[in-house]
Amino acid sequence: MSTSGTPLRAAPSGAASPADIPTEVAAAEPLLAEPPVRRREFFEYAIIRVIPRVDRGECINAGVVLYSQAFDFLGARTFLDVPRLCALDRTADSVQTRAALAAWELVCAGAPGGGPAASEPLGRRFRWLTAPRSAVVQPGPVHGGLTANPAAELDRLFDLLVL
């Protein structure tokens, strides 16, 4: 009988008693322990919009820029849908627009082709990229969220908001 009043059950024959288990094994974590949870951290992102005629205000989503200070991550993915661009403005210059979108990716990567902004710290680059401007390629409003993998989050947002 245990101290709580419940009867004790006998161990099956051949079962090891607690005294027979080495202390290293007894102290080890259970074999079915849950995998460690990856930490989720705050991130910010903005949609990169193409507005071929600023006076009309019509736009298409052409990319996403994402920044996470906790993960030391800044990235952008872009794609220009030329038929949609031409539907908004038949005279739009798709070559120049593609070059402007590529510059966003170069700045995020810190590449030499990204100009002086590419050498700034990640947070400053993100703020520079997401500052309001009157140009054919513009950032949308900055939004936030939580993620354990900023690169995968960038891909998810790109697929959801651009493609």
Blockwise average pLDDT, block size 10, the chain, 163 residues: 51 52 54 71 98 92 98 98 96 96 97 94 97 93 97 98 96
pLDDT in the model for residue 38? 79
Q: Tell me the backbone φ, ψ of residue 110, rounded to 5 degrees.
A: 70, 25
pLDDT in the model for residue 17? 52
pLDDT in the model for residue 67? 98
Give bridge partners of residue 42 from the DSSP assignment: 146
Give bridge partners of residue 74 from the DSSP assignment: 67
pLDDT in the model for residue 4? 52
Eight-class DSSP state of 95: H
Write down the pTM of the prediction.
0.76
The sign one gets for the Cα dihedral 6, 12, 13, 18 is: negative
CB atoms within 10 A of CB 84: 13
Q: How far apart are CA 76 and CA 150, in angstroms?
A: 11
Q: Domains of the chain: which residue ranges?
A: 41-161
pLDDT in the model for residue 55? 87
pLDDT in the model for residue 13? 53
